[in-house]
């Protein structure tokens, strides 16, 4: 049996990447970069799911990661189609210039 | 230091570095390339957790499919450098930094206050990430969510096609057409 890395290391890594992703979502203006930051956050959650699954000896965590990946793929297709449609109509993808639904 | 620990440290440092690169770089293509590297590092981290199937899936789905889609959209929109990247300290940046710092502090408090986690990777859990185990549980316990994911992907394909069409409305629904 190889000596294993403590679970805390994976959780700290996961939390750090999640924080970086959330800062990106809140600060960036470019819709595609915001989209990529959302992917970062999804992946951060995936790390902790796989870590728990592997440390507790339960396969369910890895099945959840499988589902998260499928939802992320669907979200990527829809999100990028929305960005394309937005660019076609407004000629911009900077989220602070898009105020069509702003009250 | 054990080899796996060194491997883990290299992977995690590069993963955090590329995550910062994704968030902070001005050019969308540089962001996308950083993100591809980040996904590859995560695949390596999954290998250190004995999750071979998820590691392969990470490379195929994220680094392969999703990032190609993102890069294609960047290409179609002909995005360059952000000309007016916010410089200096703005209120929005302050709020975002507060949120990020709060997350990190919360995690650190959690790990300093809570006792050490006693679980270890045992011989039993080494087999958890194998395709045989995952396939078995996917088609028994999680069969209904699996079918539902198929439906979700179908809806996503139809939705993406509809949104990507040149005209979102039919010709006969437009008001000037009915005037003729």
pLDDT at position B180: 46
Residue A2: inside a domain, yes or no?
Answer: no
B81 vs A89, higher pLDDT: A89
| Minimum distance, in Å, between the CA of residue A103 and any CA atom of chain B | 19
The domain over range B1-79 is classified in CATH as 3.30.420.40: no
Residue A101: inside a domain, yes or no?
Answer: no
| Minimum distance, in Å, between the CA of residue B70 and any CA atom of chain A | 7
Please state, rounded to an integer, the average pLDDT across all residues of chain B.
Answer: 83
Residue A30 backbone phi and psi in degrees, to 5: -75, 125
Q: What is the domain extent for residue A21?
A: 7-94
Best A11, A36, A38, A84 member to test B by mutation, with max B CBs in 10 Å, is A36
Assess B50–A contact: CB distance below 8 Å, yes or no: yes
Residue B174 backbone phi and psi in degrees, to 5: -75, 140
pLDDT at position B101: 86
- When pLDDT is cut at 50, 70 and 90, the band that residue B176 belongs to is low
The answer to whether A6 contacts B119, with C-beta atoms less than 8 Å apart, is no
C-alpha A5/C-alpha B2 separation (Å) is 9
Count of domains for chain A: 1
CB proximity under 8 Å: B 87-106 to A: 92-93, 95-97, 99-101, 103-104, 106
Question: Has residue B168 got a pLDDT over 60?
Answer: no
Question: Has residue B154 got a pLDDT over 90?
Answer: yes
Q: Which residue from A minimizes the CA distance to B98?
A: A23
pLDDT at position B98: 86
pLDDT at position B167: 65
Residue from the list B31, B117, B120 with its beta carbon closest to the beta carbon of A36: B31
The answer to whether A60 contacts B137, with C-beta atoms less than 8 Å apart, is yes
Residue A1: inside a domain, yes or no?
Answer: no
The answer to whether B155 contacts A74, with C-beta atoms less than 8 Å apart, is yes
Residue A100: inside a domain, yes or no?
Answer: no
Which CATH number do you get for residue A60?
A: 1.10.287.3510
pLDDT in tens, A81-99: 999 888 888 888 888 888 8
pLDDT in tens, B110-152: 777 766 655 566 666 677 778 888 899 999 999 999 999 999 9
| Residues sharing a CB contact under 8 Å with residue B88, sequence separation 6 or more, in sequence order | none
pLDDT at position B115: 61
pLDDT at position B139: 92
pLDDT at position B131: 86
pLDDT in tens, B18-50: 999 999 888 899 999 999 999 999 999 999 888
C-alpha A59/C-alpha B59 separation (Å) is 20
Kindly state the percentage of chain B with pLDDT values over 70: 81
Mutual angle of helices B28-48 and B67-77, in 10-degree steps? 180
Listing DSSP states for B26-51 in one string gives: SSHHHHHHHHHHHHHHHHHHHHHTT-
The pTM score is 0.85
Residue A102: inside a domain, yes or no?
Answer: no
Question: Has residue B82 got a pLDDT over 50?
Answer: yes
Positions in chain A short of pLDDT 70: 1-3
The answer to whether A54 contacts B50, with C-beta atoms less than 8 Å apart, is yes
């Amino acid at each position: 049996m190889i000596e294993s890395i403590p679970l805390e290391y994976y959780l700290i890594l996961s939390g750090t990447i999640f924080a970086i992703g959330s800062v990106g979502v809140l600060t960036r203006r470019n819709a595609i970069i915001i989209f990529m930051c959302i992917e970062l956050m999804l992946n951060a959650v995936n790390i902790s799911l796989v870590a728990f699954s592997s440390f507790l000896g339960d396969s369910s965590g890895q099945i959840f990661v499988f589902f998260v990946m499928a939802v992320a793929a669907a979200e990527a297709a829809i999100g990028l189609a929305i960005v394309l449609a937005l660019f076609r109509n407004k000629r911009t993808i900077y989220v602070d210039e898009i105020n069509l639904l702003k009250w | 230091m054990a080899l796996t620990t060194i491997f883990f440290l290299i992977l995690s440092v590069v993963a955090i570095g590329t995550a910062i690169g994704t968030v902070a770089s001005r050019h969308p293509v540089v962001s996308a390339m950083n993100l591809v590297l980040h996904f590859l590092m995560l695949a390596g981290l999954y290998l250190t957790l004995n999750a071979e199937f998820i590691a392969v899936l990470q490379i195929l789905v994220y680094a392969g499919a999703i990032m190609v889609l993102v890069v294609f959209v960047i290409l179609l929109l002909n995005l360059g450098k952000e000309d007016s990247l916010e410089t200096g300290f703005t209120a929005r940046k302050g709020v975002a930094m507060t949120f990020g710092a709060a997350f990190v502090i919360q995690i650190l408090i959690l790990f300093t206050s809570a006792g050490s986690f006693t679980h270890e990777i045992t011989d039993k859990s080494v087999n958890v990430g194998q395709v045989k185990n995952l396939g078995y549980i996917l088609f028994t316990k999680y069969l209904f969510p699996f079918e539902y994911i198929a439906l979700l992907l179908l809806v996503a394909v139809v939705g993406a096609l509809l949104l990507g069409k040149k005209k979102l409305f039919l010709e006969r629904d437009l008001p000037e057409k009915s005037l003729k």
